[in-house]
Amino acid sequence: MHNLLSVKNLKIEATSYPPGAPPRRVTLVDNVSFDLAKGKVLGLIGESGAGKSTIGLSALAYGRGGAEITGGQVLLDGTDILPLGKSGIRKIRGARVCYVAQSAAAAFNPAHKLGNQVIEATVMHGLMSREEARKRALYLFQVLGLPNPETFGDRFPHQVSGGQLQRAMTAMALCSNPELIIFDEPTTALDVTTQIDVLAAIKHAIEATGTAALYITHDLAVVAQISDDIMVLRHGKMVEYGAVQQIIEAPREDYTRALVNVRQTAREEAPDQTNTLLKVEHVSAQYSNGFKVLHDVSLHLPKGQTLAIVGESGSGKSTLARVVTGLLPHTEGRVVFDGKEMTPSLNKRSRDDLRRIQLIYQMADTAMNPRQTVRDIIGRPLTFYDGLRGAAKTARVKELLDQIEMGSGFVDRYPAELSGGQKQRVAIARALAAKPELILCDEPTSALDPLVAEGILKLLLRLQEEEQLSYVFITHDIGIVRAIADSVAVMHRGNLVRFGPKSKVLAPPFDDYTDLLLKSVPEMEIGWLEKVLATRKMASADN
C-alpha cells in the first residue's frame, strides 16, 4: 500500500532555560513512527503534554515555541520534507498539507471577511484563480452544511457562531485540495450539540474530497467516530498504535484501557429528596445593560446531595451559580438557603452566609492569585472566617492538603508550579477551608484531561460523604451527570427546560432539547455518529 505520510523515528526536542541553571534539553517526542495512506484518517490521542500537537505540526515541518525536530524523517509522498528549507516547505504548507487549529475564534483574523481568508492560501500559492477559489469555497461551504453558503463568505468572524467558524476553518484547509489535513482538536472548544454537527461535516468532507487526515484529540469517543487508525501517546512516547476496532474493543496496554474505561465513578441517586438546603424560586436575572439571562428559574437541592445543571454554553447555567452566590443580583424571585432568604447582592450578605456557600471555578489558573503560595491561598479563608493564625493555621492547611490527597510538601509552591489537576485540588481545598455547606462547582473538570478529571470527581464524591457537603455541579458533560448527580436541571437559553430526580430527567419521554442534548454526547462505540445522524434524518423526514 502506498503511504501518503510516513513518519519515521521522529524525535523533537526543545531547550528550556531555568534561570541560574544551565539550559536543559527536553525531549518532547521520542521515537514515534506511523504511516498514513491516502484518504485515511489517523487519530492521535493522549493527555495534554503528550506531544500530539507537536507531532501533528511536524507534518508541516514546523516546531512551535522553540521545539526543534532533531531526528527522524517525515516523508510526504516519499520525499523527506524536513531538509527542504524555508522556501521548499512553504510550497507544501497551505497547499499540500493544511492545518485546522483548535480555537478557530483565535485563528481567524477578525478584521477580514471569512471568504477572503478561506481562499487566501490557495490563491497565494497560485493553485487557482480568485474566481475558481471562490467557487471551490462555495462548494465547500455547501458540503460542510453552512447556512446561506452564497453569502457566508461575506461575513466577518465575529458574525458567525463558534461551530460555524470551526467549519469555515475546515473549509479553509480543504480549499487548496490538500493531500493531508491536520485537525488539532477541532471540536474540543465546542458544545456537544455543535460538536456533532462539526464532526459530521468534517467526516463528510473528508470522504467527499478523499484527503487524508491526522486527527488530534483527547477524547477517545470522538476519535472513534472519525478515524481508521488510532495512536495513543503519553509523555511524547507511543503507547499503542492500531486499528480503531482493536484499540476500542481490545486495548493491549494498561494506559489505553484506562482511557477506554475512564468513567467508572457511578452513584445511585439518593432516594429521599426532601430536607431542602437551597431553594431557587422564580428567579430572573439580567445584566446591567438590560439583557435578560435567566427567565423564571425554580429548582431546589436537598442537603448532602448533588444537583447537576446541564446545558450548552450560553444556556445560563453559570449565571445561575453567580445568582446564588450574589455576584449577579437577581431581579425577580427568591433564593432561599437553609430556610433563610438571601439578599440578591453579595455586599449585603453576612460573612457567615458567604462562608456557607463556596464556588469552584472552571479555570483554576485564573481563580487563584498567582502571587500567593498554596499556604496563603488555602490559609486565607481560615484566617478570615475562623481567625486561625500561626501554628494552628499551618496545621489546618496541612490537614486540608492531606484531604485533597496532595500532602504538605506543596505548601510553599506557587500556582504556576502545580499541574492543572493539582491547581483544581488546591481550589477545592480553598473552598473546603471555609467549612461550607454548599459548593457550587462551575465545570471544575472540563479543562482537565479525562483521567485527571476522573480523579477530581472521585475526590469531590469522597468529600461529600465525609463532610456532608451539597453540590451544585454545572457541566455540559452528560457522562458526569450520570455519574454523580442526584437531581438534574437542564437549561437552554436562560430557561429551565427540565428538572427533577436523575432517574426521571434522564429517562424518556424526553422533550426535544433534552433529547438532542443526550443524543449528541459521543459514545465510545464505532459507528455511533452514523447511527445518530440516521435517526436525525429520519426524524426530519417525518416532519
Partner 1 sequence: MRLRSIPLSAWIGILGIAIAIFAAIFADFIAPYGEGEIVGDIWLPMGGDFLLGTDNLGRDLLSRLIFGARTTISVALAASILCFSLGMILSFTAAVTGGVVDQVLSRLNDLMMSVPALILALVILAVLPQNIFILITVMAVIDSTRVYRLGRAVALDVAVMEFVEAAKLRGEGKIWIIFREILPNTLSPLLAEFGLRFAFSILFLSTLSFLGLGIQPPAADWGGMVKDNKDGIIFGISAALVPGGAIAALAVCVNLVVDWLLKRTSSLKGGRGDA
Cα–Cα distance measured from residue 123 to residue 93, given in angstroms and rounded to the nearest whole number: 13
Minimum CB distance to partner 1, residue 203 (Å): 37
**Segment contacting partner 1 by CB under 8 A, of 13-21, 43-51, 289-297, 517-525:** 13-21
43 binds partner 1 (CB under 8 A): no
Q: How far is the CB of 327 from partner 1 (least distance, A)?
A: 7
Q: What is the 3-state secondary structure (H, E, C) of 88-131?
A: HHHCCECCCEEEECCCHHHHCCCCCCHHHHHHHHHHHCCCCCHH
Name the residue nearer to partner 1 (CB basis): 137 or 418. Answer: 418
Q: Which is nearer to partner 1, 352 or 465 (CB)?
A: 352
Grid cell, residue 529, equals 455518529
Surface-to-core class of residue 351, CB atoms within 10 Å of its CB (0-12 exposed, 13-18 middle, 19+ buried): exposed
Q: Is 86 one of the binding residues for partner 1 (CB under 8 A)?
A: no
Q: Looking at 96, 203, 349, 482, which residue binds partner 1 (CB under 8 A)?
A: 349
Q: Establish if 27 lies at the interface with partner 1 (CB under 8 A).
A: no
Residue 12 phi, psi (nearest 5): -125, 130
| Distance, CA of 61 to CA of 229 (rounded, Å) | 22
**C-alpha 274, offset from chain centre:** 34
CA distance 469 to 62: 49
Q: With CB under 8 A as the contact rule, which of the stretches 30-38, 111-119, 343-351, 452-460 interacts with partner 1?
A: 343-351
Binding of residue 290 to partner 1 (CB under 8 A)? no
Is 361 a binding residue for partner 1 by CB under 8 A? The answer is yes
Contact of 504 with 348, CB cutoff 8 Å: no
Cβ density class 54-75: b for 16+ within 10 Å, e for less:
bbbbbbbbebeeebebebbbbb
**Closer CB to partner 1, residue 343 or residue 503?**
343
What's the closest the beta carbon of residue 229 comes to partner 1, in angstroms? Answer: 37
Work out how close the CB of 535 gets to partner 1 at its nearest, in angstroms, rounded to a whole number: 40
Q: Applying CB under 8 A, does 474 fall inside the site for partner 1?
A: no
Cα atoms in the 13 Å half-sphere on the side-chain side of 167: 31
Which candidate, 170, 192, 199, 39, places its Cα nearest to that of 530?
199
Q: Are 492 and 315 in contact (CB under 8 A)?
A: yes
* CB-nearer residue toward partner 1: 87 or 350: 350
If binding means CB under 8 A, how many residues of this protein chain bind partner 1?
A: 34
DSSP 49: T
Window 433-462: contact mask with partner 1 (x via CB under 8 A): -x----------------------------
CB of 87 to partner 1, least distance (A): 34
Of 346, 451, 526, 533, the one binding partner 1 (CB under 8 A) is: 346
- 390 touches partner 1 (CB under 8 A): no
Whichever of 118 and 440 has its CB closer to partner 1, that residue is 440
Q: Which listed residue (336, 363, 516, 533) binds partner 1 by CB under 8 A?
A: 363
List % helix, strand, coil for the chain (3-state, nearest 5): 40, 25, 35
Among 327, 392, 395, 534, binds partner 1 (CB under 8 A): 327
Question: Cβ of residue 17: shortest distance to partner 1, in angstroms?
Answer: 6
Nearer to partner 1, 146 or 434 (CB): 434
**Cα 315 from Cα 40, distance rounded (Å):** 37
Query: What is the layout of strands, in order, in the sheet containing 276-286?
Result: 292-302, 276-286, 332-337, 340-341
For partner 1, the binding residue among 370, 390, 508, 509 (CB under 8 A) is 370
For partner 1, the binding residues (CB under 8 A) are 16-20, 325-327, 346, 349, 351, 354-355, 358-359, 361, 363, 366-373, 380-381, 384, 414-417, 430, 434
